[in-house]
Amino acid sequence: HRTKNLSQGALFLEATLPHPAGTRVVLDFDLGDGPIRLDAEVVPHRPGEAGMAMRFVNVGTRERARLERFLTS
């Protein structure tokens, strides 16, 4: 899947069939400095847009710092 939008608290995967809102998932991806694993929950998004919006839940201090470094680099 391809990430269209990534922020400190959420991401949007484009061109994927969405799970129902409220579904919990575990995301594994690479920020360039190694793999990261985050828990997320599917949230509603704009109708007609193919993909799935997810907000991160229970993000640890270390993971939050890595996301921040990635987003500001």
Q: Is the dihedral of CA 11, 58, 47, 1 positive or negative?
A: positive
> What confidence tier does 9 reach under pLDDT thresholds 50, 70, 90?
very high
Instruction: Report the distance separating Cα 55 and Cα 49, nearest Å.
Output: 17
What 3-state class would DSSP assign to 38?
Answer: strand
pLDDT at 58: 94
> What confidence tier does 4 reach under pLDDT thresholds 50, 70, 90?
confident
CB-based contact 46:5 (threshold 8 Å): no
**What tens digit of pLDDT does each residue of 33-72 get?**
899 999 999 998 777 778 889 999 999 999 999 999 999 9
Supply the pTM of this predicted model. 0.83
pLDDT at 1: 62
Rg (CA), the chain: 12
What 3-state class would DSSP assign to 67?
Answer: helix
